[in-house]
Structure 1
Amino acid sequence: MSGHDDVPDWAPRNLSDTGGHDNPYTFLGASDPGGAREPQPGTPHPGTPRHGTPRTESGEPFDAFKRPDRAPRPPGPAHAAAKPPRRRLSLGGHRPPRRVGGILLGPLAGAVGLVLLTGLGAYAVAAAAGGCSGDDAVTIGVDAAPDVAPAVVRAARRLNDAGHKAEGKCVRAEVRSTDPAAVATLLSGKGVAGVTQKPDVWIPDSSLWPKLAGGSGQAGAAGAFTQFGGIASSPIVVAMPSGLATQLRNLGAPAQPSWKELLAAAGTASNAEEDPAGGDGVIPARLLRLQVPDPNRTATGMGSLMLASALLGRAAGGEAQFAGVVRTIREGTAASVKAEFTPFGQPATDRYPVALAPEQAVYAYNARRPATAAVAVYPAEGTVYLDHPVTVLSKDPGKVAAGRLLKKALSDRAARGDLQRLGFRTPGGTAPAAFSARTGLDPRPPKALPATPAAQVRSTMQSWAQLSLSIRMLSIIDVSGSMDEKIAPDVTRLQATVRTAQGGLSLLPDDSELGQWVFSTELEGSQDWREMVSVGPLGERLGSATRRQRMLSAFAQIRVKEHGDTGLYDTVMAAFDYMKRTYKPEYVNSILLWTDGRNEDPGGPSLAETLDHIRREYDPERPVLINMFGNGEDVDVNELRQIAQLTRGDAYVADTPGQVQALFLRALSQRVSP
């Protein structure tokens, strides 16, 4: 590292951001934080059809890897004109690295020839061998993930020029750079998201996409695919600013901390006396702010969920811990991999930013010479790899054979070299020569977690869809006389309940909707309940304070009603009817009731009448979930559970205040199926 900034010594300092002829823009993949740019003169427009070869202003075919010619130099001194012309640097040559401005341009500089294809959705059609067209050709349309598209274009051009044949016809491949999520949406039968034509061959960034799209169950969904394996790999790593990595080392953190410790430090479960996701390492709790790209749009985000599911699914309390991780991911969701790195260059506020990102994205980010370099951390348990599989969607035997030939072309030495220059490992894990401690990357391949079965991929994404919905909840606290009994020195049941409710409040983001009732008997005339705060967004202002602040103030004002009984059934029915009447489909609509006993309202409805009412009024199209927390020896858990389970909720008993955090997470993890 230099003594003046965090830019690694290996990063070339002469890369231009202009994309001009003298310094063409270096394409470093879809996860390149530089993102897609507006098409430059001479590049194809995103609407260019497959069969039209993009051309430059001069009429020459666009070559994604060719360095544009410089403008002729004006006449100079005779001795300069006599110098032999400088040789161009070939991607496949063995010219030794050179220095520019004191910076060594080694293996990374080989990527300088990989210019931007014109962004997502742009067509990059590989040149076809002469005469290979029409009925005399097997033509395959190839949709490739933008991060590998430049190398796929090169391999397709070599394939076309080689004159290979399939089913007695010459083979012609036409490649376009396409967002995998758009293709997956089309194949799943769920609609159109920018792609209207199914490709013959699909090279997404992860096998998770075909697994998700192939079994959606939607009408029009694609069936089984023919897969020929991956062409490049990139593990999901924890990317962090280099300064933070140094601080963690100084704290004594291991080079490979556990996922559990990292998630705990990212605030998976805050304010917990018994943190179900907490670690026992040296990284302070809530030190980190986790950034994850949208799991609905990116394989990295989807892979992060598979990773959490694999590590937590079989552990005790894994369901609740997974719910906590989902909440952390939801609160830290970034629009793209590019956006994950934006906070790295900004002053730290309350917590330090870290990102779950492909290793290749770290390589790409550092290649752009940021003010703050990134370091990849490889957790001890292993990780999920993005594998870029060649997937044939066509059933035509000729196109299947052509897809196999393309896979072979993408596996040869030239293609492997192109992919490594983009920052990818080989399918077997071999790293590019540029990977080293100086570049923030470890050349040793991290352990790969087992591949996730297709059914589990779909199940996990369904859980994400449910758990990532915002909460709309009515909290109801028992204030009957028995709540004044002490359960610990100087702590009553009501005080313990309020403290745990406050802890639950801290877990909910501002876009959650919450309201607060209390209940006993005859709190307002003959009515057993009273509204303290109306249901609405926690961040909404109610006069001079937000609803969250109003909730905290209401908690402080709750008092026991002396000699009050427990009007449980009346209150449950009233709350259920209210939440159903005000139902909002974009939320999980739920009731959370806290009590220390059973129904004690002789003039109110019976258990049978209550169950009959909820059974009759429950609407699966407008589901309202009831969860109940009991506290005390008088709680009839069976009674509470009968009510809750009619709505697919449940009842829980907390013996100590410290248990409520885990139970609250468990309650949040039990969502209504879509």
Structure 2
Amino acid sequence: MSGSEYGRYGGGGRRRWAEVLVPLAGAVTLATLLGIGAYAFASAGAACSGDDTVTLDVAVAPGIEPAMAKAALRFNTDRLPTNVRPGGDAGGEGGRCARAVVRKADPGAMAALLAGRSVPQGTGDRRPDVWIPDSSLWTALAAATPASPGSTPSPSPAPAGGGAVEVTRTSVARSPVVVALPRTLAASLARQGVTAAPSWDNLLNAAGGTAGGAVTKNAVIPPGSVRLLVPDPARVAAGMHALVLTDILLANDPNKDSIFTGIVRTARESTLPTVESQFTRFRPAATGRQPIALASERDVWAFNRTRPAEPAVALYPQEGTLSLDHPFTITTADPGRRAAARRLERAMASEATRADVRELGYRSPDGKAPGSFTAAAGVNPGRPRELPAPKPAAVRQVMQSWSKLSLGIRILTLLDISGTMAEPIAPGITRLQATARTAQGGLSMMSNDTELGVWAFSTELQGDQDWRELVPVGPLGERIGSATRRQAVLSRLGSVRPKTTGDTGLFETLTAAYREMTRTHKAEFGNTVLLFTDGKGNDDPGGPSLERTLADLREITDPGRPVQIVMIGVGRDVDTRELRRIAEVVPGGVYVAESPDQIVKIFLQALSRRIGE
């Protein structure tokens, strides 16, 4: 005690000490009667540190971290005790002082960690006590039961013993998912009288995807006029929201699976690793198909604050949208820490925290926009229509579908060139021409990492063999001599002609192709034999019988190396009886294309079988 302090309390100090201690003792007694620990009372006016402090590890999405750090600082400065009484379920931790330590954490990586799909590699990815990702969609994935390596996570909740993920009702910030256009494109569309609020359906159709059936059909942006860019749904919340939105809007469409498959295949070819990488594609005075990006409203605001040469403009689709809601999530099972987390949750719902998140370009949980939201900033302060939040099971199903449908494709195409393929399917177009042209057009749906090969078949095309390899199976982007495989396939499909005297050596060819694709199976691809035929059935007198073929296919089939056979009969008078017998033995399906434009739809329908596998 300093001399000045001693002077204040010395010299008749006993009386002055009593004046201090008696009221303090009364306060402690009152606190005890109320069930509040004496240490808790003391900690409210003392520094929150030491061995008795409950330190909450708070992992937050990087964009929101500055605001959450400020909220934690206020919480720590208040030095409030935890809300657990001594001797309670906290195991003697009641009344301990609590403080929060905020750190950045990638939401996708944290979701995988909490679901048991990854193992911590260091202090940066340890399990936190509180988690604030940018979207509740991540919490839906984090609640999935840990899966064995190489398997798809089950949609059931994680067992309590593994540490439950509890999403509270508190959201710390919101940012709607929007469509971002280059400002010059937005201005051009405005001059054409295009509305500022197009439908999701129109946007997908304009970008080359297949239009849905549960949304409006008003033509706004001309079809095929823009390129759709999508941030990786497995890593970026805005990309995941785009898939979930598509699923919601297709809910009542009878062709939902095949339409969703077409959109996924279109999106896969324009997927970028981050939201920021989408904006790098925006160019001043761009010509041709200009890019449109899927992003959060805050992403558009933040990008425009960098003063880019080509700013972005946010469009708000008329059906409504979903928002990145930044949920306050408790991920600890310890009662004392959970009590401290509840106090932090209440502290983060303050008006000061709401002001901080708006300063970062987010809306506060009530939907109020920052004052900086103006037309010049590319965003609209008005509150967009919100669609109902999806259920966690639906989110997991959508992401499982994405995982299956976005796998690489490995296809061996069998092209029937028997004499009957010279018959017309439409005025001036033979069956073979229609099939070849459709196959050529289908190449645009396939990226360079797609593995494709082509065989032609009839009878005795190569000695006694009924099939002949036109292009070996391999990546479309790989060079074969002076050209790429894609160019080679286009060339061979354009030059192939029917063997006018040839019959249909279907069984021998199909068995050989199935054996080859099973032998060379690649687990990281969906392996398929794609058969185009006139549907007249096998008419090779010297070839194997149907029963012999079925027996051979059963023997070749290996569940560990699955290969599906997609059989498409081309024309109106297709006899599918033999093909359907084959489909009963091997995975796959039989389809009939009565016109050329049906073939692409059938191919998407066949690919959509992966969703249910």
Relative to structure 2, which stretch is displaced further, 223-232 or 201-210? 223-232
Distance 1:428 1:464, change over 3 A: same
Aligned to 1:170: 97
Q: Secondary structure at the match of 2:67?
A: helix
Conservation of the 8 A alpha-carbon contact between 2:164 and 2:333: no
Relative to structure 2, which stretch is displaced further, 463-472 or 219-228? 219-228
* Equivalent of residue 200 in structure 1, options 107, 129, 140: 129
Identical residues among aligned pairs (%):
51
Relative to structure 2, which stretch is displaced further, 560-569 or 574-583? 560-569
Q: Structure 2 CA distance, aligned partners of 1:282 and 1:191?
A: 44
Q: Structure 2 CA distance, aligned partners of 1:251 and 1:372?
A: 20
Conservation of the 8 A alpha-carbon contact between 1:277 and 1:321: no
Relative to structure 2, which stretch is displaced further, 598-607 or 216-225? 216-225
Q: Structure 1 CA distance, aligned partners of 2:213 and 2:223?
A: 11
TM value normalised by structure 2:
0.84
Q: Does 1:226 align with 2:162?
A: no
Aligned to 1:52: none
Distance 1:349 1:602, change over 3 A: same
* Equivalent of residue 199 in structure 2, options 258, 264, 268: 258
Amino acid at match of 1:670: R
Distance 1:216 1:328, change over 3 A: farther
Distance 1:549 1:345, change over 3 A: closer
* Equivalent of residue 249 in structure 1, options 167, 172, 190: 190
Using the TM superposition, give the Cα deviation of residue 568 of structure 1 relative to its aligned residue in structure 2, in angstroms: 1.2
Q: Structure 1 CA distance, aligned partners of 2:542 and 2:216?
A: 47
Amino acid at match of 1:370: P
* Equivalent of residue 137 in structure 1, options 39, 48, 53: 53
Conservation of the 8 A alpha-carbon contact between 2:572 and 2:594: no
Aligned to 2:69: 153
Conservation of the 8 A alpha-carbon contact between 2:79 and 2:97: yes
Q: Structure 2 CA distance, aligned partners of 1:556 and 1:292?
A: 33
Aligned to 1:356: 294
Conservation of the 8 A alpha-carbon contact between 1:385 and 1:448: yes
Conservation of the 8 A alpha-carbon contact between 1:583 and 1:589: yes
Using the TM superposition, give the Cα deviation of residue 402 of structure 1 relative to its aligned residue in structure 2, in angstroms: 1.6
Aligned to 1:521: 459
Q: Give deviations 1:416-440, integer Å, cap 9, x for gaps.
A: 0000000111223221122122321
Q: Give deviations 1:440-491, integer Å, cap 9, x for gaps.
A: 1111222222222222211111111111112111111111121122233222
Q: Structure 2 CA distance, aligned partners of 1:672 and 1:157?
A: 47
Aligned to 2:539: 600
Q: Does 1:670 align with 2:609?
A: yes
Using the TM superposition, give the Cα deviation of residue 347 of structure 1 relative to its aligned residue in structure 2, in angstroms: 5.8
Q: Secondary structure at the match of 1:425?
A: coil
Conservation of the 8 A alpha-carbon contact between 1:129 and 1:160: no
Amino acid at match of 1:214: A
Q: Secondary structure at the match of 1:650?
A: strand
The 5 A counterparts of 1:489-528 are 489-528=427-466
Conservation of the 8 A alpha-carbon contact between 1:598 and 1:634: no
Amino acid at match of 1:650: G
Amino acid at match of 1:635: V
RMSD of aligned alpha carbons: 2.4
Q: Structure 2 CA distance, aligned partners of 1:591 and 1:346?
A: 45
* Structure number with bigger Rg: 2
Q: Secondary structure at the match of 2:62?
A: coil
Distance 1:288 1:362, change over 3 A: same
Q: Give deviations 1:533-581, integer Å, cap 9, x for gaps.
A: 1111112221222211211211122221223221111111100111111
Aligned to 1:578: 516
Using the TM superposition, give the Cα deviation of residue 209 of structure 1 relative to its aligned residue in structure 2, in angstroms: 0.9
Aligned to 1:659: 598
Structure 1: gaps of 5 or more residues: 1-127
Using the TM superposition, give the Cα deviation of residue 350 of structure 1 relative to its aligned residue in structure 2, in angstroms: 3.5
* Equivalent of residue 183 in structure 1, options 105, 110, 131: 110
Q: Secondary structure at the match of 2:466?
A: strand
Q: Secondary structure at the match of 1:148?
A: helix
Q: Secondary structure at the match of 2:384?
A: coil
The 5 A counterparts of 1:188-587 are 188-192=115-119, 195-218=124-147, 222-228=162-168, 229-268=170-209, 281-345=219-283, 348=286, 350-587=288-525
Q: Structure 2 CA distance, aligned partners of 1:524 and 1:400?
A: 74
Conservation of the 8 A alpha-carbon contact between 1:593 and 1:627: yes
Amino acid at match of 1:261: N
Conservation of the 8 A alpha-carbon contact between 1:129 and 1:172: no
Amino acid at match of 2:552: H
Amino acid at match of 1:225: V
Amino acid at match of 1:177: K
Aligned to 1:649: 588
Q: Structure 1 CA distance, aligned partners of 2:166 and 2:330?
A: 5
Amino acid at match of 2:118: G
Conservation of the 8 A alpha-carbon contact between 1:160 and 1:173: yes
Conservation of the 8 A alpha-carbon contact between 1:470 and 1:587: yes
Aligned to 2:549: 610
Distance 1:450 1:488, change over 3 A: same
Q: Structure 2 CA distance, aligned partners of 1:481 and 1:522?
A: 13
Structure with the higher fraction of residues in helix conformation: 2
Relative to structure 2, which stretch is displaced further, 453-462 or 642-651? 642-651
Conservation of the 8 A alpha-carbon contact between 2:564 and 2:586: yes
